[in-house]
Amino acid sequence: MPLRICFVASEIAPLAKTGGLADVTGALIRYLEGAGHDVRSFLPLYSSVDLASLASAPVDFLHDIPLEMGPHRYRYSVVGARLPGSQATVYLIDCPALYARGRIYTTDPDEHLRFLALTRAAFECCQRMGWSPQILHCHDWHTAFGPLFAKTLYAWDRLFQATRSVLTLHNVGYQGVFSAAAVDDLQLGSSRYLLHQDDLRSGFINPLKHGILYADAVTTVSPTYAKEIRTPEYGMGLEQALRARGDSVLGILNGVDYGEWDPRTDRYLPRHYDAGRLAVKAELKAALAARLGLACGPKTALAGVVMRLAAQKGVDLLIQALPHALASHDLACAVVGSGDEPYERALAELQQAFPRRLAFHRGYSEELAHWIEAASDLFLMPSLYEPCGLNQMYSLRYGTVPVVRATGGLADSVQLYDPASGTGTGVLFKEYSAAALERALGAALDLYADPAHWTRMARNGMAQDFSWTRQGAPYVELYERLAGRPAGGV
């Protein structure tokens, strides 16, 4: 039976992206729409959304709508855009006072208002469309007040009486905390008692925590991360709230959009390959090395890195381990990334110290990300924590062996290679230390020196299937289970 699903998210690729959240929402919407469901999505019309590249038009009955949040008054209109590669409509909330900024995320004092407005607008557009979603699917802190709003602010409206909410946690490291002084902005009136009272007394409001408390189901993006976040080491203060939800917290591994990430069809590559044509991969490696000025012969192992430069990604380990690794092995490294300034500086310094061995491109480049995935021999992801991670899954498909720390989705998608049986897809290490990363890299390079093992491991990886056709099904099962369930109280 087709379901009516309302998606509310701060990023949807290719319209607005800073990381994997966008890849996942974009691909999941396409999958659900392709499977025959009625999916309507809500996203801010950020300045960076390239409307000219989309089939889009203003929605005439969603024009100049007032929105009140405590003392703040806004007006917004809505532009409907077709999500490329699907027939699904993304409703873009056009409110320049909130979204006409240089970046998708800001540190401006009204950051909480920007995403409360998105969440509220989603409900109010559903009302104006007379559309009753069976599922409200919210993502991360930005839209985590959706479940509580469904049970309070909009509970009077019969349209939402059968609506069940899902919150997906893509990263519990970002919780969107704001000051309790702004409590009126939530517009909760007499339902204010439902807010976390200890936090309020301590002077703050934690959006993500309220999503965990009130969503009918909470999912996260890998089974291992679902276990990890119940512990103080990974829960970032939310472990208790998560444990209290028991079985309602579920880990569903992300999928990969192979329409975008496939070495047989990749639109950024001049030549294509598959498991039977790995010689093409070697040509791409030579071409990328030449372009980046790397001294990288056929025997040199090329390690790729594509990441947001944030502590989460284990950049510290890379910076500590690479100087010795580059000096003592026949190894070169291609890095594309942007993020925290000290990391950008440290990588630029590494490039100066090893000009022919390490190339660092500071910034965001979709094209270079595809090239690095295709041309590298191995791919490094030594994450401190990783809810899912997509690049290791892309690497597997490109025959680029992942060397990863065994945490979160990395542990769930990469299988340690066993030379005795020839099974496994990569190299994993447990301890979060530069020494452990270096040992893992050493083990990978030993395997690289033996082409029979290396090719076997790369081909094992290429045969893995993380398509949304597989990974999307558990979401539909969850939606169906929830849609048939009576309302949970608050």
For ligand GLC, the binding residues (CB under 6 A) are: 19-21, 24, 170-171, 221, 254, 386-390, 409
Q: Cβ closer to ligand ADP: 91 or 141?
A: 141
**In the complex, which residue's CB is closest to ligand GLC?**
20
How many CB atoms are located within 10 Å of the residue 299 CB?
8
- The CB-of-164 to ligand GLC minimum distance in angstroms stands at 21
Find which of ligand ADP, ligand GLC, none residue 221 binds, CB within 5 to 8 Å per kind. ligand GLC
Q: How far is the CB of 285 from ligand GLC (least distance, A)?
A: 26
Which CB atom, from 402 or from 424, has the smaller least distance to ligand ADP? 402
Q: Which of 208, 137, 134 shows the shortest CA–CA distance to 166?
A: 137
**Cβ-based nearer residue to ligand GLC, 119 or 391:** 391
CB of 336 to ligand ADP, least distance (A): 5
Nearer to ligand ADP, 94 or 386 (CB): 386
Q: Residue 402, preceding bond cis, omega within 30 degrees? A: no
Residue 162 CA to residue 139 CA, distance in Å, equals 20
Q: Quick one: what does residue 306 bind among ligand GLC, ligand ADP, none, with the CB cut-off 5 to 8 Å set by partner type?
A: ligand ADP
CA 422 to centroid of chain Cα atoms: 31
Is residue 204 a contact point for ligand ADP (CB under 6 A)?
A: no
The Cα–Cα gap between 308 and 311 comes to 9
CA gap 462, 390 in Å, rounded: 15
Both tokens assigned to 408: 């979160």
For ligand ADP, the closer of residues 174 and 204 by Cβ is 174
Does residue 285 contact residue 317 with C-beta atoms inside 8 Å?
no
Shortest CB 320 distance to ligand GLC, Å: 22
Interface characters, 358-397, with ligand ADP (x: CB under 6 A):
------xxx--x------------------xxxx------
List, in order, residues 6 or more apart from 396 with CB less than 8 Å away.
402, 413, 414, 425, 426, 461, 462, 464, 466
Check the CA dihedral 228-234-238-239 and report its sign.
Answer: positive
- Residue among 101, 107, 128 at smallest CA distance from 44: 101
In this structure, are residues 177 and 204 in contact, taking their beta carbons and an 8 Å threshold? yes
Q: How many residues bind ligand ADP, per CB under 6 A? A: 18
Cβ-Cβ contacts under 8 Å for 345 (sequence gap 6 or more): none
User: If binding is defined by CB under 6 A, does position 168 make contact with ligand ADP?
Assistant: no
> Shortest Cβ contact with ligand ADP: which residue?
20
As measured in angstroms, the least distance from the Cβ of 364 to ligand ADP is 4
Residue 26 interacting with ligand ADP (CB under 6 A): no
Distances (CA, A) of 440 to 38, 83, 137, 428, 429: 46, 41, 39, 7, 6
CB of 339 to ligand ADP, least distance (A): 8
Partner whose footprint covers residue 39, from ligand ADP, ligand GLC, none (CB < 5 to 8 Å by kind): none
Sites of contact with ligand ADP (CB under 6 A)? 19-21, 23, 306-308, 336-338, 364-366, 369, 388-391
